[in-house]
A = this chain, B = another copy of it.
Amino acid sequence: MSMSLSKELELEQPLQDIRHETLLNVVRTATMLSLRGEEFFRKYGLTEAQFNVLFALKYKKTKWTQSDLGKRLVVTRASITSILDKLEAKGFVIRNSVEGNRRIRHVELTPEGLKLVRKIEPIYRRNIHRVLSCFSDSECKQIIEYMEKIRGGLKNLKYSITQ
């Protein structure tokens, strides 16, 4: 039983609160993106989260700790531990201990890990471009800006009485 993503129920639900509808749309879209992502990466024996780690490691400029990875990918440290356990078992990453700070580990791609990312990446990119084919670069930039603004807005909640 697999989700029929193509059929989206047209609702007669009134657009009675545009802000609510906005957030719902963002979440709904991300859900669909993730479902498709999982489906895609499964072909390579990876979860989306695992690929995201590999991909992030490929393009990072500095050394990253597990904690850094978690912040980047919006995932708890506990999850990062679990994801890395799997990737390490498959030989795609290594955790290096760091002299000068015995708490942290720097995470790096192994040659095998790099090879895998290089194999998946072009296909992944092609798919992504297909999904966003009807967007111009400036529209993409605008979406990114909007998303950053929403995440910024989330911080408003932090300092408010939410009940």
Listed in ascending order, the chain A residues whose CB lies under 8 Å from chain B are 1, 3-9, 11-14, 16-23, 25-36, 40, 43, 56, 59-62, 68, 71-74, 76-78, 123, 125, 127-135, 137, 139-144, 146-158, 160, 162-163
- Distance of A10 from chain B, by nearest CB (Å): 10
A29 engages B151 (CB within 8 Å): yes
A74 engages B40 (CB within 8 Å): no
- How often does this chain occur in the complex, in copies? 2
**Which residues of chain B are within 8 angstroms of A162 by Cβ–Cβ distance?**
40, 123, 127
**Which residues of chain B are within 8 angstroms of A56 by Cβ–Cβ distance?**
13
Residue of B whose beta carbon sits closest to that of A52: B24
Bound-state CA distance A157–B39 (Å) is: 12
Bound-state CA distance A43–B161 (Å) is: 13
CB < 8 Å neighbour of A146 from B20, B72, B139: B139
Between A71, A125, A137, the greatest number of chain B beta carbons within 10 A of the residue's beta carbon is seen for A71
A27-B34, A132-B153, A134-B149 given; 4 more Cβ-contact pairs under 8 Å: A12-B61, A13-B56, A26-B147, A135-B153
